[in-house]
Structure 1
């Protein structure tokens, strides 16, 4: 029995999602320049030709992943800021979600590191990344400043704290993909929160 149009659409979306998830891991490890469409197809378990059914080139796959990663980060910080409770509790909630996310899927922050570090990122992707990253960073700074105003966060310049926090998250993501670091205990939320403690 042939599939319905709705079933075809659902299958197409599932394959696209599987391709993006596999590509995220490939790009996080190899970067944009070293990755090939054949790598993405192999990682996703689909034929080389089928990849082109969803994306015209590897740059457009990478662009979709960068946008997704940054949008998720912006959404997460916005959700933290909308939660009830003190700024400290909002920061704690954010740190818990981010640590859990990095432990489950370290490729999300690593995609952003690759995008910032790569010289081969297409101009429009780089411009969008700068715009979104600035928005994400400013939201974290604003949350830290709210904690400082409430006397709950150390009186260090908020931008410095935000940079330190982001560097820690990126470092943890890198450590998660190194096989010889699997035995090292993963930090808990309270450990990360010490960055902000007055």
Structure 2
């Protein structure tokens, strides 16, 4: 198990956030973008980094916005499946993301997790363009207390399901951090998407 906040997510749990059926049906949208090596943690730096901001008091998140890729979506609470892996939002709602509500709240100290589908049976979904995000981009999380937690992207990486780095993705942090997760890593007609795209970000501002 890997701990996120005060609870645990089962190890080896790449998140199943994809359908892929629409690719077979030929909607014309094409496969979702995948991050380049330059956007990984080991890639070329994006310039002077913004300093981390102090942690916020817990307040449930209600909306996530990623202006660089056109994301503006409500957030629902997510739990764990019977197998101990992170649950997912309903696939039928293409513009819906979720956050792991038994773990860290976005903006407080620790590792908060947001997840959403890359597609559904009808076509692209909320995080279809997540793999195109670049270092330095902003992620805004609107919270119930009226604050907006602003995170800056540090890295965008893609992992094969069999090599999903649980500790790196879900492990504890001593500052407010955010992970945004969807499917990626290539597509197979037999098994669907073969991994996950993961965005790493840290809190750098509050509005």
Interval containing the TM-score (normalised by the shorter chain): under 0.3
Q: Which has the larger radius of gyration?
A: 1
Give me the TM-score of the superposition, normalised by structure 1.
Answer: 0.25
Higher relative contact order (CA 8 A, sep 6+): 2
Give me the TM-score of the superposition, normalised by structure 2.
Answer: 0.24
